[in-house]
Amino acid sequence: MIRCISSPAEPSIVTQTAIRTAAPEQRSSCAAELDDLRPGSPISRELALRLIRCSDTDLPALIGAARAAKENFKPGVISYSRKVFLPLTNLCRDYCGYCTFRRDPGEPGAHTLTPEEVLTVARAGEKLGCTEALFSLGDKPELLFPEMRNTLRHLGYKSTLHYLEGMCELVLRETSLLPHPNPGLLSAEWIARLAAFSPSMGLMLETTNRALLAPGAAHDNAPDKVPNKRLRTIEEAGKQGVPFTTGLLIGIGETPNDRVETVLAVRDLHERYGHIQEVIVQNFRAKPTIPMAHVPEPGLGEMLRTVAVTRLLMPNVNIQAPPNLIAPYYEELLDAGINDWGGVSPLTPDYINPEKPWPHLEQLRLLTEGKGFQLRQRLPVYPEFLPALMSRPGLLAEKLHTARDSENLAREKRAA
Ligand code: SF4
């Protein structure tokens, strides 16, 4: 049986595996190969496929190697982005089996933010020291729903992407927040248009397994979740040099091997274009209202293996896992090689997982420091990608100059 992350039985295995070292006579060839890793060198596909299924006996060696790789990459620091979450519209033309965010028009909770609402939330976040305006929204709802076409007409925009572009520009001009849009599939033209007002953007690849598009599977009736289409968007962002966030969603019907293949697809694009600023490893959480309500959640052991293997496949890329979806096993994730907690909001709920509140920032700081790391606030774009963005003249570069500190992290602002 797959164990649930929230199962009270979990800590025994995880806390033990995180701190225990297998006796020499128990060490397998996997563990021995990990001993021979060169710092900063990615592991092979073959080793990753073995490690993702490693035994509990080998798990401490895997975790130890992943944590060492993280320390080689960014020693002593864990970052996060202080954000406001702006659900621009929760109408969506897709019907993913795990989604609680989407609504049809007229359903309770269906809503498209007005420009006034966008600015009100952004300004409130500004007062709390936020630097990221995360725009999350359904994918092209106007293609399915005449109601969305009417809403957009009233707002004065031709499409959801035109509206998103307008709101990114509004937030950039009127506040100190930096937009990070997550609008789904994008053409080359739309990546360029949004990049004018956003230092980074994102699209979860989720999985490269096409079988999840089959009837009854997680991506049945989700035309925007075709893996090749998502890879094309990520590749186009690479061609344009746009710092890009992507990642895996685990526990939606894919196999451990699929997880490795998904990371390898991201790694391949990053090797060609160098633009992947962050890989998110997100775990599926079951909720009573979704079609996948009875699908078992991935166990903590699966999550740790996936995070650690992702770190070893991409040792010099930022790896994050959302803390609210793993609570209370924060320390285990730090052991498994993440170097970032992702976006954490002191103001807005996680509209994608509203039943899982983000930890209080002070709590996050204390537990991060308890593991021997300093917690630092970053911008929605990671420090290593800032110099290229700031070399291009314009409003975005000006705002970045103001928002960053000497290490290209977030300049400290006193929250009002
Ligand atoms: S996960 Fe995204 S694309 Fe899928 S239904 Fe929800 S909002 Fe739409």
Q: Report the C-alpha gap between 313 and 307 in whole angstroms.
A: 10
∠ CA 355-141-183, rounded to 5°: 65
pLDDT per residue as tens, the chain (416 positions): 223 333 333 433 344 444 344 555 566 777 788 888 888 899 999 999 999 999 999 999 999 999 999 999 999 999 999 999 999 999 999 999 999 999 999 999 999 999 999 999 999 999 999 999 999 999 999 999 999 999 999 999 999 999 999 999 999 999 999 999 999 999 999 999 999 999 999 999 999 999 999 999 999 999 999 999 999 999 999 999 999 999 999 999 999 999 999 999 999 999 999 999 999 999 999 999 999 999 999 999 999 999 999 999 999 999 999 988 888 889 999 999 999 999 988 887 666 666 666 678 888 899 999 999 999 999 999 999 999 999 998 999 999 999 999 999 999 875 54
CA of 99 to the centre of ligand 1 (A): 6
Q: Where are the alpha helices (DSSP H) in 22-114?
A: 29-35, 45-51, 59-73
In this structure, are strands 132-137 and 201-202 parallel, antiparallel, or unpaired? unpaired
CA of 20 to the centre of ligand 1 (A): 40
Taking residue 348's Cβ as centre, other Cβ atoms within 10 Å add up to: 17
Q: Are 65 and 36 in contact (CB under 8 A)?
A: no
Our mutation pick for probing the ligand 1 site, out of 139, 185, 233, 280, counting the most ligand atoms within 8 A of Cβ, is 139
Ligand 1 atom nearest residue 136's Cα: 7
CA of 376 to the centre of ligand 1 (A): 31
Q: Residue with the nearest Cα to atom 4 of ligand 1? A: 96
- Give the CATH number, domain containing residue 90: 3.20.20.70
Residue 78 structure tokens: 């864990």
Our mutation pick for probing the ligand 1 site, out of 85, 86, 88, 92, counting the most ligand atoms within 8 A of Cβ, is 92
Ligand 1 atom nearest residue 93's Cα: 8
SS3 14: helix
Our mutation pick for probing the ligand 1 site, out of 88, 91, 99, counting the most ligand atoms within 8 A of Cβ, is 99
- Give the chain's end-to-end CA distance (angstroms, integer): 49
- Main-chain phi, psi angles of 222, to 5 degrees: -135, 80
CA of 102 to the centre of ligand 1 (A): 6
CA of 94 to the centre of ligand 1 (A): 6
pTM value is 0.92
- Main-chain phi, psi angles of 404, to 5 degrees: -90, 160
Q: Residue with the nearest Cα to atom 3 of ligand 1? A: 94
Residues in CB range of 186: below 8 A, 6 or more apart: 161, 194, 201, 203, 233, 236, 237
229 belongs to a structural domain: yes
Instruction: Specify the DSSP class assigned to residue 101.
Output: S
Residue type, 239: K
Range of the domain at 87: 77-403
CA of 164 to the centre of ligand 1 (A): 16
Number of structural domains in the chain: 1
What pLDDT, on a 0 to 100 scale, did the predictor assign at position 26?
Answer: 60
SS3 74: coil
Ligand 1 atom nearest residue 99's Cα: 6
CA of 288 to the centre of ligand 1 (A): 17
11 belongs to a structural domain: no
CA of 200 to the centre of ligand 1 (A): 20
Residues with CB under 6 A from ligand 1: 92, 94-96, 99, 101-102, 138-139, 222, 224
Residues in CB range of 113: below 8 A, 6 or more apart: 86, 87, 88, 89, 121, 167
Strand partners of residue 156? none
Q: Residue with the nearest Cα to atom 2 of ligand 1? A: 138
Give the start-end residues of each E strand in 59-148.
77-89, 132-137
Residues in CB range of 266: below 8 A, 6 or more apart: 205, 234, 246, 247, 276, 279, 314
**What is the distance, to the nearest Å, from the Cα of residue 145 to the centroid of all Cα atoms in its chain?**
28
CA of 280 to the centre of ligand 1 (A): 17
Taking residue 372's Cβ as centre, other Cβ atoms within 10 Å add up to: 10
144 belongs to a structural domain: yes
- Main-chain phi, psi angles of 77, to 5 degrees: -130, 140
What pLDDT, on a 0 to 100 scale, did the predictor assign at position 20?
Answer: 45
398 belongs to a structural domain: yes
Q: Report the C-alpha gap between 300 and 408 in whole angstroms.
A: 33
2 belongs to a structural domain: no
Ligand 1 atom nearest residue 137's Cα: 7
16 belongs to a structural domain: no
CA of 112 to the centre of ligand 1 (A): 15
Q: Report the C-alpha gap between 225 and 92 in whole angstroms.
A: 12
Work out the angle between the directed axes of helices 10-19 and 300-313 (0-180°, nearest 10).
30
Return the C-alpha torsion angle 120, 126, 129, 134, nearest 10: 70
295 belongs to a structural domain: yes
What pLDDT, on a 0 to 100 scale, did the predictor assign at position 160?
Answer: 98
Per DSSP, the residues of 256-309 read: HHHHHHHHHHHHHHHHHH--EEEEEEEE----TTSTTTTSPPPPHHHHHHHHHH
274 belongs to a structural domain: yes
Q: Are 337 and 316 in contact (CB under 8 A)?
A: no
Q: Report the C-alpha gap between 202 and 204 in whole angstroms.
A: 7
